[in-house]
Copies of this chain bind each other. A is one copy, B any other.
Amino acid sequence: MEQVNVKLTLAYEGTDFSGYQRQAQGERTVQGELEKAIVSLTEEEPKLIAAGRTDAGVHAKGQVVNFMTASRIPLPRWAAALNSRLPSDLIVEQAQAVPAAFHARYDAKAKTYQYLVSRRRWPDVFLRRFCCHYPYQLAVEKMQAGAAFLVGEHDFKGFAAAGSAVATTVRRLYRVDISEQDEELSFILAGNGFLYKMVRNIVGTLLLIGEEKMAPEMITEILATGQREKAGPTAPPQGLTLMMVEY
């Protein structure tokens, strides 16, 4: 039977998911909900490949997954058909047919993440699920100076959570931009790949620099030594959103 390789672009609010990846024990996951919808639509058990796993509480505006299907449902109908079967915190933004060789993880050239921080005195009731509340004075220009050291190809071992088995901890960051709007601080990070908890560890470190508890130049030392303990704490998940995956 002829198979089609389907690429889906997903948006989800991570709040009520135990992350992207399906787990044992019946935890609610993005993959689990999406698989249920696909099974209901096609009566096939799909083998989903995602661009990357997102942790519990982390959001996505542009997660990408692909899977092979023998279903004869025309591609223009997939998004509506799946969305009518998905919960309101998970949406298929787009469904496309892609070449059989396309692989959402291996073929990803760049990923872009946003991390949002609110410096309001009191938590914002509207943004509380989508930002880290951090009501402190922050020296943004020092954070930007620290961020500049991160751009380029480096060994990011010092910003990776322990225990993830990867062949190399060298990655290339294309940009680490920090911008202010009202009382929100938005971090945009784009790179060819990210280690486990790397964005949240970078943000946690830049926040220490913003509080002037660490010098911007410490970034170069963390990169040079690869010592996780020199870096800042892991910023909480709800501020993080996977914005886009480029192929």
A88 at interface by CB-CB < 8 Å: yes
Contacts of A128 in B (CB 8 A): 88
Q: Is A59 an interface residue (CB 8 A)?
A: yes
Q: Which stretch of A35-43, A118-126, A191-199 is in the interface?
A: A118-126
User: Quick check: A12 and B79 within 8 Å, CB to CB?
Assistant: no
Decide: B92 and A125 in contact? CB cutoff 8 A. Answer: no
A13:B125 contact, CB within 8 angstroms: yes
A83 to B130, CA, bound (A): 20
Oligomer copy total: 2
Chain B nearest CB from A5 CB (Å) reads 22
CB under 8 Å from chain B, chain A span 184-230: none
Judge whether A90 is part of the interface by a CB distance below 8 angstroms: yes
- The answer to whether A11 touches B90 (Cβ under 8 A) is no
Instruction: Indicate if A89 sits at the interface (CB-CB under 8 A).
Output: yes
Interface flag for A91 (CB, 8 Å): yes
Contact with B along A125-152 (1 / 0, CB 8 A): 1101010000000000000000000000
Chain B residues, Cβ within 8 Å of A12: 125
Which residues of chain B have C-beta atoms less than 8 A from A130's C-beta?
Answer: 126
A interface, size bucket: 20 to 34
Contacting pair A122 B13 (CB below 8 A): no
**Contact partner of A122 among B59, B79, B89, B124, CB < 8 A?**
B79
B13 with A59: CB separation less than 8 A: no
CB distance from A182 to the nearest CB of B (A): 12
**Chain B residue nearest to A120 in the complex (CB):** B93
**B126 near A13: Cβ-Cβ < 8 Å:** yes
Bound Cα distance from A90 to B11, whole angstroms = 27
Q: In whole Å, how far is A160's beta carbon from the nearest beta carbon of chain B?
A: 28
Q: Which of B59, B90, B92, B123 contacts A126 (CB 8 A)?
A: B59
Q: How far is the CB of A61 from chain B (nearest CB, A)?
A: 8
Tell me if A123 and B59 are in contact (CB < 8 A): no
Let me know if B89 and A125 touch, CB within 8 A.
yes
18 contacts between A and B (CB under 8 A): A11-B124, A11-B125, A11-B126, A12-B125, A13-B125, A59-B125, A59-B126, A79-B122, A88-B123, A88-B125, A89-B125, A90-B125, A91-B123, A91-B124, A91-B125, A92-B122, A93-B122, A126-B130
Ranked nearest first, the 10 interchain pairs of A and B with the lowest CB-CB distance are A13-B125, A91-B122, A11-B125, A91-B125, A89-B125, A12-B125, A83-B122, A88-B128, A93-B122, A13-B126
